[in-house]
Amino acid sequence: MAKDGQELRSKAKDHVVFPVVSPQEVSKMGPLVFTRGEGIYVWDVDGKRYMDSMASGVYAVHVGYGRKEIAKAMGEQASRLHYFCPYGYISEPVIKLGEKLAELAPGDLSMTFFTCDGSEAVESAFKIAKQWAYHQGYRRKYKIISRRRAYHGSTMGALAATGTMSPLRKIMEPLPPGYRFASAPYCYRCDFGLSYPDCALQCADSVEQIILHQGPDNVAAFIGEMVMAAGGCIVPPPEYWPRIREICSKHGVLLIDDEVVCGFGRTGKFFGVEHYGIKPDIMTMAKCLTSGYSPLGATITKPEIIRDMPAFWHVHTYNNHPVSCTAAIENIRIIEEENLVQNSAEVGKYLLEGLRSFSNHPSVGDVRGLGLLTAIEFVKDKSTKERFPEDQAFCGRIMDLALDEGVILRRVEDIIEFCPPLIITKSEVDEMIEITDRAITQAEKEFGLQHN
């Protein structure tokens, strides 16, 4: 086994380009070659078992690994009809999934454009917004407002709405023009140096200031995740989204709710937007739409937005893929039948309480979350919220220690997020908490951080 593992690792390094990870990091990680999964666990080629605290590292696997019923349904669809071109032709699973999403989505969102992933779903949302504005008679209503710290994807349009200056974005500039960034509702590190509720939601009002500055006739849409996931698990105050909805409606700007991570139960409601009681104009989905069993993204909107378009001028060969839509139908059936949204709410609360018990650690600055989207933000100094210098890989050390004990963690800067598959049980949470606690204590010792 070990020899196979080494051979595979070496071939992977020689023949595969890894996204966003340097060859040095790949070598350090192995890379880990996984061969199978079951529940919330995956096994590597050497037979070691790992607990997945991040639903595959990217918040995707809601129903867990090894779901034979999804594989069976996909296999049956692939042998019946695996694909046909999407321009005017369609197959049954696509219609069935479109109908199901219309039933689940808030308000009158009922028309879905299917893509292959989340970035394409976001690109499609922007193109729907721009084309909608065009057919309303506006020729310059093309600008998109996003927020700092937001992640909306890696294709050029989605990347242009990504509010980080990481190499992901910086190296690819110039990106498409017309994107503007408002402040994130990041209460722990408020851009305005204010505290909620005295802040009177300046971060939401900054969206209106940008719209007014650009001119409402030049702004097509605002995009945001209900809870910013890759931005560091940022949960806005309850009034934030209603205020944004009001601003968008007042100025004729479409509101795009990016549910690529928050959707399908991640935050303890079917869609993240249900926590805030608002109705978006367009919603994007991917990842947990199929739990990763097959690539699929979706952009759902209102009939009135599509109605005035002679055609929607955007296309990919694999729009409306029947096998991926079949995977989504089975995935949603499991989420509903096994009450996974409720499990996310209940076990998520338990997980958050467990993480809050870490508050006496000298490095734990903030603990936050909603449902099974939770995080700890680590700091070098709690009283000043000083960050660790970039070269002091404190969180990296926590992750290495946890990995040795069989728990895979993921971080964004100095924030470690805990977003396991929605099937996780309380006793599995206990195991994750215990191992993480030991890893934090050991890392603090090594970095000279003292408990009071």
Q: Which residues bind ligand PLP (CB under 6 A)?
A: 58, 117-119, 122, 151-153, 225, 229-230, 258, 260-261, 286-287
Nearer to ligand PLP (CB atom), residue 259 or residue 330: 259
Q: CB nearer to ligand PLP: give 230 or 332.
A: 230
Minimal distance, residue 347 CB to ligand PLP, in Å? 22
Q: Nearer to ligand PLP by C-beta: 230 or 283?
A: 230
Residue nearest ligand PLP, Cβ-based: 118
Q: Which is nearer to ligand PLP, 245 or 287 (CB)?
A: 287
How far CA 53 is from CA of 205, 374, 424, in Å, comes to 35, 10, 9
**Closer to ligand PLP by Cβ: residue 26 or 58:** 58
Nearer to ligand PLP, 152 or 245 (CB): 152
Stated as kind and residue range, the H or E segment containing 144 is strand 143-147
Hey, which bits of 247-361 come out as E strands?
254-258, 282-285, 297-301
Q: Is 430 left (phi over 0), alpha (psi -120 to 50) or beta?
A: alpha
- Written as one letter, the residue type at 29 is M
Q: Which of 57/107 has CB closer to ligand PLP?
A: 57
Q: How far is CA 25 from the centre of its chain?
A: 23
Q: Largest Cα–Cα distance of the chain, in whole Å?
A: 67
Complex with ligand PLP: residue 214 or 267, whichever CB lies closer: 267
> Could you tell me what percentage of the chain is helix, strand and coil, using 3-state DSSP and rounding each to the nearest 5?
40, 15, 40
- Partners of 146 in beta bridges: 181
Q: How far is the CB of 258 from ligand PLP (least distance, A)?
A: 5
The least distance separating ligand PLP from the CB of residue 284, rounded to whole angstroms, comes to 7
Asked if 186 and 149 count as a contact pair (C-beta separation under 8 A), the reply is yes
118 vs 268, beta carbon nearer ligand PLP: 118
* Shortest separation between residue 182's beta carbon and ligand PLP, angstroms: 16
As a whole number of angstroms, the distance between CA 265 and CA 331 comes to 12
Q: How far is the CB of 174 from ligand PLP (least distance, A)?
A: 21
Least Å distance, CB 219 to ligand PLP, is 20
Please check whether residue 176 is in contact with residue 160, taking contact to mean a CB–CB distance below 8 angstroms: yes
Minimum separation from the CB atom of position 59 to ligand PLP (A): 7
Task: State how far the alpha carbon of 357 is from the alpha carbons of 367, 369, 370, 434, in Å.
Answer: 9, 14, 16, 11
- Where do the DSSP E strands lie in 176-238? 179-182, 219-224
Minimum distance from CB of 443 to ligand PLP (Å)?
26
Q: How far is the CB of 58 from ligand PLP (least distance, A)?
A: 6
Centre a 10 Å sphere on the Cβ of residue 284 and count the other Cβ atoms it contains: 33
Answer yes or no: are the C-beta atoms of 106 and 271 closer than 8 Å: yes
- Spatial distance between the Cα atoms of 124 and 129, rounded to a whole number of angstroms: 9
- Min dist CB 121 to ligand PLP, Å, is 7
Rounded CA gap, 185 and 236, in Å? Answer: 5
Cβ neighbours for 171, distance < 8 A, ≥ 6 positions apart = none
Q: Tokens in use for 267?
A: 């935050």
Give CA angle at 294 (30, 315), nearest 5°: 115
> Is the Cβ of residue 152 or residue 180 nearer to ligand PLP in the bound state?
152
